[in-house]
Amino acid sequence: MAADPLDIVISVRDMTCAYGERVIVRDVSFDVRRGEIFVILGGSGCGKSTVLKHLIGLYRPAAGTVTYHFPESERPLRMDIEGGADREAILRRIGVMYQGGALFGSMTLLENVRLPLEEFTDLPPSARDFVARMKLSLVGLEEFRDHLPSELSGGMQKRAAIARAMALDPEVLFLDEPSAGLDPITSAGLDELIQSLSRSLGMTFVVVSHELPSIFAIADTAIMLDKTAQGIVAQGNPADLRDSSDNPLVRRFFHRETAGAEAS
């Protein structure tokens, strides 16, 4: 599907991700459009989180490019693991929620969310506190601002991690397995939060997930990766893929069938 170039915020071209000699995905290309919730889905071990880590510059692609297009930048910014002005500019405009939350255990929730504001803005302390409280309020955790992460449940930790990732108002928010390990109600609450933030803030979300209810609830667009194909096997709206895809890999994934069931 050809997207309006002005709408594209992340553009991935011919990216190969590998750990040493072991190739995880080969020659993948896709675009993420501004304001959409873009889901990277697939079975365990297909390279979803690996692709995400390449997008956010933790790993260098073995081949190909990852380019970001921000309205305030005169030119596209290229993610380069070696550093440079482009990488710095990209990192200031993205936020990441890691699978386990990755909150700093010795800091309270307020201190966790305030940290990026302390490091990257000149706001006075009272303003930093208020902005951090506001972000926690957005994810429903304002009353827990003085708690340590270890005093909270897994779902609350993930919500706090989203608040921290949003501290500097990123244009793109990356979420790695937001629903993993959560009960259905907490998971649905998190999905609602993502949708509400997307609608109210117009933020772009890139979400890694293999939880089908969550994918159907939030995704505007999805790419499906597969371990054996080492790349993208389907792309589009998840509901459309479920209902109309002829690809057996896609059908198996969306209809929760094993390889044996498909063969019979």
Partner 1 sequence: MNQPAALRIDYAPQAPDGLTLSFAGRLDAQALGRLWNEILARAGQAGVRHVLADLSGVKALDGAGIALLLRLRLDKEAQGGGLELRGLPERYERLLDLFDTDRLRRDEGPARPRPGLVDRAGLAGMRFFDDLRQMVAFVGECTLALGYALRHPRRVRWQDMLLTCERAGAESLPIILLIGFLMGLIMAFQSAMSLERFGAQIFVPNMLGLVMFRELGGLVTAILLAGRSGSSFAAEIGTMKVNEEVNALVTMGLDPVRFLVAPKVLAAVAMMPLMILFFNFASLVGGAVVMLSLEFPLATYTSRVFANLGMIDFLGGLFKGLIFSLLVAGVGCQRGLTTGAGAGAVGQSTTSAVVSGIILIAVADGIFAVAFYYLGI
201 binds partner 1 (CB under 8 A): yes
- Alpha carbon distance 179, 190 (integer Å): 7
Nearest to 12 by CA among 217, 3, 239, 228: 3
Q: Which of 57, 149, 178, 238 touches partner 1 (CB under 8 A)? A: 149
The beta strand positions in the chain, using DSSP E, are 8-19, 22-33, 37-42, 63-68, 77-78, 94-97, 172-176, 204-209, 221-226, 231-236
CB of 19 to partner 1, least distance (A): 24
CB of 156 to partner 1, least distance (A): 15
137 binds partner 1 (CB under 8 A): yes
CB of 121 to partner 1, least distance (A): 4
Between residues 28 and 131, which has the closer beta carbon with respect to partner 1?
A: 131
Q: How many helices (H) and strands (E) does the chain have?
A: 10, 10
How is residue 108 written in tokens? 């309270």
- Alpha carbon distance 79, 90 (integer Å): 7
For 137-162, b/e burial (b = at least 16 CB within 10 A) is: ebbebbebbeebbeebeebbbbbbbb
- The structure tokens 């309020």 sit at 137
84 binds partner 1 (CB under 8 A): no
CB of 88 to partner 1, least distance (A): 12
Q: Which of 88, 118, 143, 192 touches partner 1 (CB under 8 A)? A: 143
14 binds partner 1 (CB under 8 A): no
150 binds partner 1 (CB under 8 A): yes
Residues 87-116 that bind partner 1 (CB under 8 A): 104-106
228 binds partner 1 (CB under 8 A): no
**Which SS3 state, helix, strand or coil, does residue 208 take?**
strand
153 binds partner 1 (CB under 8 A): no
Q: Which of 142, 227, 237, 242 touches partner 1 (CB under 8 A)? A: 142
How is residue 103 written in tokens? 């909150």
Q: Which of 82, 124, 258, 260 touches partner 1 (CB under 8 A)? A: 124
Residues at the site binding partner 1, with contacts judged by CB under 8 A: 71-74, 104-106, 117, 121-124, 126-127, 130-131, 133-135, 137-138, 142-143, 145-146, 148-150, 166-169, 196, 199-202
